Copies of this chain bind each other. A is one copy, B any other.
Amino acid sequence: MASHQSPSITQNLAWLYRGVSEIFPNLTDSQNRHENLVERLAQTNRPLRVKLGIDPTGADLHLGHSIPVRKLRAFQDAGHTAVLIIGDFTARIGDPTGKSEVRQQLTPAQVAQNAQTYLEQVRPILDFDTPGRLEIRYNSEWLSKLDLAKIMDLLSTMTVGQMLAKEGFALRYEKESPIYLHEFLYPLMQGYDSVAIEADVELGGTDQKFNIAVGRDLQRYFGLSPQFGMLMPILIGTDGVQKMSKSLGNYVGLREDALTMYQKLRQTPDILVEQYFELLTNIPLDTLPENPRDRQILLALDIVTQYHGKEAAEKAKEDAEKIARGKTEQAEALPEFSLENIQFPAKLFYIVSASKLCKSSSEARQKIQEGGVRLDGEKVTDVNLSFDSPASLQGRVLQVGKNKFVRLVNPN
């Protein structure tokens, strides 16, 4: 992509290109047009405004979501301004047809709560402290003020044909699935966000190209210099097959405890390790260890450090090694399960289920029968094993299979 740049510029801009699928537009001198992000960076004497829009749906974020946020941080570190846009307006109006699960209508309180949850999760990634490096904006600030005349203006910038060419719409139109007219407004609202905050760059997944291009058109229409789009890959999950997603279970959540995170990343499939390094760490790719096991450990340590700090990451590594040697009960930083809501006397299979180590009591009973449940490393054999009080379980480690375990704690 940067082959026409001098080596020194390319080296200085390694942070810019790392893990990027596409930057557009990328016009070179040969066409005598200069719409090129590297030139913009070289020529500007002010911080660029780099936009990332987020839906305040309150979801748990995972490493896939972290990719554009990490790029945003890279821009911050290069002296630019991150503009996080919280799509509270869209969340509040929802989808009037009620057909879409993702566009549920939320109350202002829910939106505020969800935005808070989101910000807490990205706090380890972004620079919240350096003055001028972060703006958090809610798009109701400008969208709630649009009147019909302005909306006519927005709509007039696009044709039905252009909109129906958008991936998603094209297929539905062909299949004669109904496309409701208001759905055409979503890309325009996202695009108008770029107008309102005067974005220089917008970040997104490769599935966002159309919407970011709409932003460019609207900025031009309103007399602004159009933004650049920077697209990043959609992350493959820890199964090595499908895109990372909570519902598929192949995810690493940003709020997971250090040990869980470490254990998952320590087992990253070999084919994904290099891409994970590129997208999820800042480690130069030409310094990676040769040995696949060492790579997995370095990857896990680096990412856990980002979210939990160096000490917690080292402890997770040690704990993981104890667990691998069958000494789970000696691990120090196991996730905890509080017994406070368990009624005693209690059967062990019930506690296994309540702690989410199994999905149901019947699965828990089956696991015990199969010899897959351990208490402090000792295999449990009695399906009807029962405890009279929480005191006798305090501090003990309950484990299902190789990778699922909790330390039981009694808060009373």
Contacts and interface: CB of A to CB of B under 8 A. Distances in A.
Interface of A: 89, 92-93, 95-97, 143-144, 146-149, 151-161, 163-164, 173, 176, 178-182, 184-185, 189
A149 B93 contact: yes
A156 B94 CA distance: 11
A152 B184 contact: no
A151 B181 CA distance: 10
The 9 A-B residue pairs with the shortest CB-CB distance, nearest first, are A96-B156, A155-B182, A155-B181, A159-B178, A156-B182, A160-B179, A152-B182, A93-B149, A146-B148
Contacts of A164: 160
A314 to B, nearest CB: 51
B181 A158 contact: yes
A180 B154 CA distance: 10
A96 B153 CA distance: 6
Given A155-B180, A160-B179, 10 more contacts: A144-B149, A147-B147, A155-B182, A155-B185, A156-B180, A156-B181, A159-B180, A159-B181, A160-B178, A161-B173
Given A163-B181, A181-B184, A96 B147 contact: no
A32 to B, nearest CB: 29
Nearest to A164: B160
B89 A148 contact: yes
A67 to B, nearest CB: 30
A173 B159 CA distance: 10
Given A159-B179, A178-B161, A96 B152 contact: yes
